[in-house]
Structure formats: C-alpha cells, structure tokens
C-alpha cells in the first residue's frame, strides 16, 4: 500500500489544500494520503483559527489519515518545521512526500536548495536575498527546499505547483484563496464559502487577541530570570518583553511596542507563543498522535508501533506539549474537545 | 510624638475598624495612628475586595498614615503575619501596638499566649483544641497572641476589646459588622451603608472567581516539577492541583475538588494565591511602602529612612512582590491604579 505524506497547517482547510491533496494522490499514485498537520499553534507563532480536531476533521475531505506535527516543530523556523514533518513521515513509513512549490521541477528545486545552502554559510543572507529570485522568497519554496534537504533518499519527493493564488495574498479572489485570505474573511464576517470544501462553524474562531490576557499574566507574574528559560528567549529579550507589557492592552499593540529592526514580526510572535505555552526545551519525536482517519487510514496504521489513536493517562506523558497546548487553547476556545475526550475522529470511507 | 500602630486588612474598612482606630488613639494617648495594612491579597489567601489604594484611602477616615504590610506576610499564617506586622511597626519606630481581642486583659492574654506556646510544642494541636476555650479560637485572639509573642519589650501592647459582632459572623446585623458580612452584602447587592463610615464604589469589587482563568492557565501551563518551586507547595500538592484543574470551571468548585481533610480551606487558598502570584521564597522586610497619609502622617515619616511614598524605577526593586501583586490584581480589577502611577494618597488633616 503506497502512502504519500503532506506536511500542512490547514489553517483552515480550503480548496487550495484540497486540490493539493488530490494532486498528491494523483502524482504519487499512492493508495493513501497522510496529512502531518500542525496542532493548536502554527508556524507563524499564532494559535490556529480552529482547533486541531476541527481542522483534522475538515482534512478528511481530501486525506485518509491526519496526524499531529509535534507542537515544538509546528512552531519552529522552516528548518525545524521541515525536520519535524519529515521525521514524522519517516516514523509512519511514508513512501512519498508531496509539497507545494512555485514550480514543480524537482531537479531545479534540488539544485537551488543545495546552492542556497552553500551561499547561506558564506553570506548569512536570507534565501530571498541569496537567490535574487522572488519565486524563491515565497514561503512555500523555502519550506520545499527545507524538505528536500531534510528528507533521506528513501522518500520520494513530489513538488506540486501552486495555482492561482500566492501564500501572501490577503484578498479572497475566487475558489482558490490563501489561508490568510480565508482567515481575514472569517475575522471580517465576510462570505468565504466559495474558498472552502465544506461549511465551518466560525463561532469557534480564535486569535492571539483572545490569549493576550493569559500572555500578559505570564509575563507579569514571572521574573526576567524565570522568563530566560523560555525557548528562543535570547539576547535579553525577556527585559524588553517585561518592560512593555503593562502598558499594552491588546496583542497587536504589544507586538508594535516590542518589535525592533533586529527581529522579524514572526520571530517575536513565535517567542510569545513559546512563552504562552511555557516551552523551555527542544522536543524529540518518538511517537505519533493520530487526529483523524477514515477506514483506509485505519488500515494503514494497524500494527504500526508508536502510533496512538487515543490519549489516556498511560500515554499522555508522550505528548506533554501537545496536551498542554490544547488545554491552554481550550481556556479561550469554545471548542471543548481535548486530547483526552477526543481520542480520534473516525469516518467510514465512502467508496 | 507618640505613635500607635494597627495591623489590619481593612477588607473593606468598616465601622468596626473605625471604632478600633478611635479606641487605639484614645487608649494609647498617641498623637498619630498608623495602619499597617495588607495589600492586594489577604491572609485568607484571597484577593482583597477592593485595591490597596481604595482601602488605604478609606482608612484615612480613622488613621493618619497607612503603610503596606509586605505581601508575603499579608498572605501568611498568623505567626508570619504577626511577625511581618510587628517588624514593620518597629521599622517605623512605633511606640505602641493596638490590636483587637475578645478581651482586653493584657496579662491574661499574655499568660495564655505563652501557655499555648508550651503546649503547642508538645501536642502539635491547634490553639482552639489546646485552650479548650472557644474565646481563644477566635481568629483575632490567635493573632493577638502572636502579636504578644512577636513584639519586643519596647512596644507597648494595647488590646482593644471587640464589640457587638464576631469575626466569623456573616450577617449584617447593624452598624458594627464583620468584614466578611460586609463583603457578602456587597456580593449580594444588599445595602451595607450602615456598616461603613463612607460610601464605596462597589463596581470595583473583585473575588477569586475573577482570577480563576489566570490561575487555571498557570497550573495548566507549568509542569508539576515547576509548580513545586511555589512557596507552600509541599507533600506532592502540585500533582493534586494539576489533576483537578482541567475539569474545574470556577474557583469554588476547584477548591471543593482539591480539598482534603488534611488541609484547611484557608491553607489551600493561600497556596493558590502563592501560585497565582508566583511566590517562591520568603521575603525580608527592609523598606516600607506608604499608601496613604494626612499631614500628621507626612510629618511623622519626615526623615525616617527606608520609607517610600513614591514607587519609581529606582526603588521598585525593593517591592517586587507588592508591584507584581498589583499588576496581577489590575489584570482583573477595574481599579487601574498601580504602584507607579499612584505614589501616595495624601489628604490634608482637617483640624
């Protein structure tokens, strides 16, 4: 049974993702499509608009199995994000990995990935600066190159060319839209039904603003010395975080107050997510949490070691960060599903 | 200029407190009455119903100077609470200490205090059990005996017999009521004006319930190992706290879920206050924070070392716990005054 993996956030699952899943199945000729999906907090350092359970359920529209990308990696820079995804795919014994890119020429992407690596060490410049090619500054190409570098030779790599809309586009322009555009439409209360394959309960949407009181409490109640233990808290950032928190009444104005030329918005947002989630150390990937599956997914994982469809007292210690992130997410979200009472979302495959 | 100190919570300041301040002034023949008052969190381990600024302002009705009882001691058992108050009185050079008691016979109270001490070591029983006398189980007598034991011989001790209402009485029964009864009346929206010397803006009242989301976040986001650093977190209580938090939707039901025969309600509530405020260590008292004063109070502190009427960047490090408790209090309270923008409440003395 051939399997193809997709590493994704599905924040939320939209027609572009659905198309990508279909293309992954088609180009790989795989029997099963496996999504390795971010949990409650995403790579930009923000809470996902909907819970991992809701997003995993949506993903069953195009995938057969949805597992959680471990939270530490889901919150990381492209290199760690890619490493976490690839390592998960390997543990699941995936045969192929399909990923979005601005072109589907694997040879060119591979050459570019290694050329960039060489330049990188010497110049210390960003990918966009190095390549001089706008196409390579697209987030999805950056990730594509990281996947290429992180994957071992047993994993078949399948680039899928993106269509119609770019990652950064913020306007809903039709059936294929970026996740950013869909989230903005949801926040603004606009119609976005043309861009997603199934209805979504938008009353459950959350944003960083909802978590700001908790973040503020965390930063106020801990000393600078204690905050220094947080992952990514370097170069005295703890003092900057503390000095601006009392005067800030919302997340966006806090971000404006702490930002400097030295750090990107995403870098700081990711640091704040680590602070909120109290992440102090790197995580190792040993086990895999299934979020949703259909009959094909169920058959695939049968007998696979280190795969759990059910979180209970016994195995919860294998997923401390995932369980904690969900508990914190649920302090704010109206989606009350947690890792203990939502063992797995299961749908019968319709043939 | 003779001074008499009162150690109090004023939660909130009512006619009984007002009477006590008048009696303290009268019996001591002092020129100045100094209140050493708990800050944002009180001895029972609960947030004060109104901010320390609002309560200090009320206290000027009967006192000339209001200083803050350092937060660690304000949150402590009778022995540490008394030690913190007495130490503060000593630093302020007070001549006398007036305290409420169920009788005003100092000789008898002193004998009782030392008798209890002797029995205590041998039996390990509570004061009420030891004395076998209900009068001595009254919280105010327990504190009275602690004051007697903590004070050095230079401090004149003046017991003031309580009138009309007992500490534990929860019904408003007239002009003199317990603070508990006043708080309950406020919570229930009942008229309590007969029991206080001046109007209170009840819209600013807070309770533990308001802080519960922050407490829940704190307990969820920290490991048991991290929580073990909290002061008073002993005997594996951190595991008990963590195991019951997710299912609890409010403070009161959480308290019911964690309580055991082994720990009193107040002991656990105090532990939760330490958890919320992230108190990890004992505090030493070196400096004194003035909250409110009139002209007499102002004259009294003139030239006294280690007394601050203004918190600024320079001296804030002397009051880390007081500043932090206020910042956390203000996350919930509508009273926006904090230690930096409320240097001191000053009222001209009317002669």
pLDDT tens track for B6-33: 999 999 999 999 999 999 999 999 999 9
Residues 6 or more apart whose CB falls under 8 angstroms from that of B287 comprise B306, B307, B308, B315, B318, B319
Is A168 in the same domain as A51? Answer: yes
Separation in Å, CA of B321 to nearest CA in chain A:
9
Query: What pLDDT was estimated at residue B108?
Result: 86
Separation in Å, CA of A328 to nearest CA in chain B:
6
Overall number of domains in chain B: 2
- Token pair of B296 as six digits: 């007499």
C-alpha separations of A7 from A35, A84, A94, A159 in Å: 6, 9, 12, 12
Instruction: Please compute the mean of the pLDDT values over residues B56-71 and round it to a whole number.
Output: 97
Cβ–Cβ below 8 Å for A217 and B218: yes
Residues of A in contact with B217 (CB under 8 A): 214, 217-218, 328, 331
Query: What pLDDT was estimated at residue B165?
Result: 57
Instruction: Please compute the mean of the pLDDT values over residues A257-282 and round it to a whole number.
Output: 95
How many secondary structure helices (H) and strands (E) does chain B include? 15, 8
Nearest residue, CB atoms, A331 vs list B217, B223, B327 = B217
Residues of B in contact with A218 (CB under 8 A): 217-218, 221
Q: What is the CATH number of the domain that holds A64?
A: 3.40.50.620
Instruction: pLDDT band for A203, please (50, 70, 90 cuts).
Output: very high
Per-residue pLDDT for B158 more than 80?
A: yes
Is A196 in the same domain as A332? Answer: yes
Spatial contact of A65 and A299, defined as CB atoms under 8 Å apart: no
Tens digits of residue pLDDT in A35-52: 999 999 999 999 999 999
Cβ–Cβ below 8 Å for B324 and A278: no
Residues of B in contact with A220 (CB under 8 A): 324, 327-328, 331
Nearest residue, CB atoms, A221 vs list B220, B223, B328 = B328
Phi-psi region of B321 (alpha: psi -120 to 50; beta: other; left: phi over 0): alpha
| HEC string for B262-294 | CCCHHHHHHHHHHHHHCCCCCCCCCCEEEEEEE
| Pairwise pLDDT comparison (B89 vs A165), residue with the higher score | B89
User: What number of residues does chain A have?
Assistant: 351
Is B102 in the same domain as B191? Answer: yes
Is A235 in the same domain as A151? Answer: no
Instruction: Please compute the mean of the pLDDT values over residues B205-229 and round it to a whole number.
Output: 97
Spatial contact of B192 and B132, defined as CB atoms under 8 Å apart: no
Cβ–Cβ below 8 Å for B324 and A218: no
Instruction: Please compute the mean of the pLDDT values over residues A274-286 and round it to a whole number.
Output: 96
Is A28 in the same domain as A116? Answer: yes
Per-residue pLDDT for B129 more than 80?
A: no
From CA B88, how far away is CA A345, in angstroms rounded? 61
Last residue of a domain, one of B277, B311, B335: B277
Cβ–Cβ below 8 Å for B213 and A320: no
Is A220 in the same domain as A333? Answer: no
Per-residue pLDDT for A12 more than 90?
A: yes
From CA A172, how far away is CA A260, in angstroms rounded? 31
Where in the sequence is the domain holding A223, given as residue range(s)? 208-277
- Chain A residue with CA closest to B273: the answer is A221
- Token pair of A293 as six digits: 């599956």
Among B50, B2, B25, smallest CA distance to B326 is for B50
Instruction: Please compute the mean of the pLDDT values over residues B127-136 and round it to a whole number.
Output: 53
Per-residue pLDDT for B63 more than 90?
A: yes
Query: What pLDDT was estimated at residue B142?
Result: 86
Is A246 in the same domain as A330? Answer: no
Is B85 in the same domain as B169? Answer: yes
- Token pair of B304 as six digits: 């006294």
- Token pair of A139 as six digits: 């987030």
Identify the residue whose tokens are 């000095």: A243
Cross-strand bridge partners of residue B96: B4, B156
The interface predicted TM-score (ipTM) is 0.87
Instruction: Please compute the mean of the pLDDT values over residues B165-177 and round it to a whole number.
Output: 70
Last residue of a domain, one of B230, B259, B277: B277
- Chain B residue with CA closest to A275: the answer is B221
From CA A308, how far away is CA B250, in angstroms rounded? 32
Cβ–Cβ below 8 Å for B328 and A278: no
- What are the backbone angles phi and psi of residue A176, rounded to the nearest 5°? -105, 115
Question: How many other β-carbons are positioned within 10 Å of the β-carbon of residue A212?
Answer: 21
Strands, E, within B39-163: which ranges? 65-69, 96-101, 156-161
Residues of A in contact with B338 (CB under 8 A): 246
Is A256 in the same domain as A150? Answer: no
Is B154 in the same domain as B272? Answer: no
Is A264 in the same domain as A198? Answer: no
Residue of B216, B221, B313 to mutate for A, most A C-beta atoms under 10 A? B221
Question: How many other β-carbons are positioned within 10 Å of the β-carbon of residue B317?
Answer: 8
Separation in Å, CA of A249 to nearest CA in chain B:
10
Last residue of a domain, one of B277, B296, B329: B277
Instruction: Please compute the mean of the pLDDT values over residues A213-221 and round it to a whole number.
Output: 98
Query: What pLDDT was estimated at residue A130?
Result: 53
Spatial contact of A43 and A73, defined as CB atoms under 8 Å apart: no
Query: What pLDDT was estimated at residue B18?
Result: 96
- Report the percent of chain A where pLDDT is more than 70: 90
Query: What pLDDT was estimated at residue B321?
Result: 97
Instruction: pLDDT band for A136, please (50, 70, 90 cuts).
Output: low
Per-residue pLDDT for A58 more than 80?
A: yes
Is A243 in the same domain as A124? Answer: no
Residue ranges of chain A whose CB lies within 8 Å of a chain B CB: 213-214, 216-218, 220-223, 226, 246, 276-278, 320, 324, 327-328, 331, 338
């Amino acid at each position: 049974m051939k399997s193809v993996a997709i590493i994704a956030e599905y924040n939320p699952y939209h027609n572009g993702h659905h198309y990508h899943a279909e293309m992954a199945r088609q180009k790989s000729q795989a029997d099963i499509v496996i999504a390795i999906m971010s949990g409650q907090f995403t790579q930009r350092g923000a809470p996902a608009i909907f819970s991992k359970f809701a997003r995993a359920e949506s993903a069953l529209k195009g995938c057969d199995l949805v597992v959680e990308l471990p939270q530490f990696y889901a919150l990381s820079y492209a290199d760690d994000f890619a490493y976490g995804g690839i390592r998960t795919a390997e543990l699941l014994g995936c045969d192929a990995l399909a990923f979005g890119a601005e072109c589907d020429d694997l040879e060119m992407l591979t050459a570019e990935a290694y050329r960039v690596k060489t330049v990188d060490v010497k110049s210390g410049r960003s990918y966009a600066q190095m390549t001089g090619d706008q196409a390579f500054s697209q987030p999805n190409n950056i990730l594509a190159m990281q996947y290429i570098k992180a994957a071992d030779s047993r994993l078949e790599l399948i680039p899928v060319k993106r269509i119609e809309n770019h990652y950064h586009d913020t306007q809903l322009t039709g059936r294929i839209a970026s996740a950013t555009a869909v989230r903005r439409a949801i926040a603004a209360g606009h119609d976005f039904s043309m861009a997603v394959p199934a209805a979504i309960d938008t009353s459950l949407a959350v944003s960083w603003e909802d978590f700001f009181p908790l973040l503020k409490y965390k930063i106020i109640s801990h000393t600078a010395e204690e905050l220094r233990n947080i992952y990514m808290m370097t170069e005295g950032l703890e003092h900057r975080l503390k000095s601006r928190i009392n005067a800030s009444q919302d997340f966006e104005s806090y971000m404006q107050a702490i930002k400097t030329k030295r750090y990107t918005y995403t870098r700081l947002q990711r640091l704040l997510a680590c602070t909120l989630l109290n992440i102090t150390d790197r995580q190792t990937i040993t086990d895999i949490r299934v979020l949703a599956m259909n009959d094909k997914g169920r058959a695939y994982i049968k007998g696979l070691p280190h795969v759990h469809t059910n979180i209970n007292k016994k195995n919860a210690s294998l997923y401390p960060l995932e369980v904690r992130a969900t508990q914190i997410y649920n302090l704010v979200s109206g989606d009350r599903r947690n890792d203990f009472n939502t063992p797995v979302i299961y749908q019968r495959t319709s043939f």
